[in-house]
Chain A
Amino acid sequence: MQEGKKIIASGGSAVGLSMFASFVGLCCIGPWTVALLGVSGAVSMARWQPYRPYILSVAGSLLAWAFWRTYRLKRVCLAEGCMGKRPGAAMYLSLWLSALLLVLAVFAEQLQWLLVDPTPSALR
């Protein structure tokens, strides 16, 4: 596999895992999990909660690898000239967006309580 494809695959996996971890972390924002997945689906989703740190760790590792390869490729290209294509701006942009998504995923649980007040509306 070409270097660029490897980086995209790694970054894409990190994005996928980050999104899944966010999904698990945001399980309590409104009744959406029950509405979308039903009661048993919501229970299954909540059962992933203890594994969030591990999912995020794997996503972080994949993303770190993608960053390392991308910037290494850039250095190699600068020093020795590139046989293939240099990583383009789109690659850097998508990597940094992935990193942002990962950071949001890490704090998804805390963020949801900033956005949503669970107290019943009659008592606010």
Chain B
Amino acid sequence: MSKSLVSQIAGTALLALMPFAALPADAPQKPYVVLDKSLSQLRADFNANVGKVRMLYIVGPTCGICLRGMSDLQEAVYSKKGDDPRMVTFVIHVPTLGAHEANVGPASRLISNRHTTQYWEETGITGRLMQQVMGVDKYVWDFWTIYGPKSVWSDERLPPLPDFWQHQLDGLPAERKLDANVFATKVGEFLAQIPAAQSAGTTAAATLKF
């Protein structure tokens, strides 16, 4: 058997085995947490961080305006305070405008730090629950909230009323439109309520940080 024939057979065998080369265990870990309809994981993470300033964002991963909002907040808030252990961020991606789970990974890179957890919530119920909390007549998304250190998610379903919120929707107050600089100032005000030394506590999803 000639050398070239042996190398051809070996090459063909390697090509045939390629699909098996990437075992599930080798697959990269998702950079986000998949929530179920009960939002129990989000609720647990929220309450595990009582005593910190918590930001909760409801966004569509394919909505350009939402993505711009994330980018603006990365610039105004996280590039300066992203490592501050007194603040924790939950970004919930919902399936608005036909978004799919595959869209979450690329979008989640816009806000990336150790204290931010990204979630994919497949039904979009998060926005409906927030709609009930806010008492508005339209589905709530592209919505940016801050919860102070004392806020607790005590209801089984509904999240607590945000201490501060902004949005990028039509039909909600124009003076509440997302302004990353105003938002950053508010975050600073809430952070001032917490002594700088306080940094205890980790979230259940802390292992899934970037």
Contact = CB atoms under 8 A, between A and B. Distances in A.
B123 interface: yes
A122 interface: yes
Interface stretch (B25-33, B104-112, B148-156, B187-195): B104-112
Most A CB within 10 A of own CB, among B62, B94, B99, B109:
B62
Interface stretch (B8-16, B41-49, B64-72, B82-90): B64-72
A27 B141 CA distance: 16
A80 B11 CA distance: 83
Contacts of B64: 27-28, 33-34, 42-43, 45-46
B124 interface: yes
Given A34-B103, A122-B123, A43 B170 contact: no
Contacts of B63: 27-28, 118
A123 interface: yes
A30 B65 CA distance: 12
A123 B98 contact: no
B170 A118 contact: no
Most A CB within 10 A of own CB, among B60, B63, B123:
B63
Contacts of A46: 64-65, 67-68
A35 B63 CA distance: 11
Interface string A91-124: 0000000000000000000000100101111110
Could you say which interface size class chain B belongs to? 20 to 34
B124 A34 contact: no
Nearest to A28: B63
A39 interface: yes
A120 to B, nearest CB: 3
A123 B60 CA distance: 15
Given A119-B124, A119-B139, A121-B95, A113 B170 contact: yes
A47 B127 CA distance: 24
A106 to B, nearest CB: 16
Interface string A28-44: 11110111001100110
Contact of B103 (A31, A45, A118): A31
A35 B64 CA distance: 11
B107 A39 contact: yes
Most B CB within 10 A of own CB, among A39, A120, A122:
A120
Contacts of B100: 31
A35 B141 CA distance: 20
Contacts of A38: 106
Contacts of B203: none
A49 interface: yes
Q: Which 3 residue pairs spanning A and B have beta carbons closest together?
A: A120-B124, A31-B62, A46-B68
Interface of A: 27-31, 33-35, 38-39, 42-43, 45-47, 49, 113, 116, 118-123
Interface of B: 60-65, 67-68, 71, 94-100, 103, 106-107, 109-110, 122-125, 127-128, 139, 141, 170
28 contacts: A27-B63, A28-B63, A29-B97, A30-B98, A31-B97, A31-B98, A31-B99, A31-B100, A31-B103, A34-B61, A34-B64, A34-B106, A34-B107, A42-B68, A49-B65, A49-B68, A116-B97, A118-B60, A118-B141, A119-B96, A119-B124, A119-B127, A120-B123, A120-B124, A120-B139, A122-B125, A123-B125, A123-B127
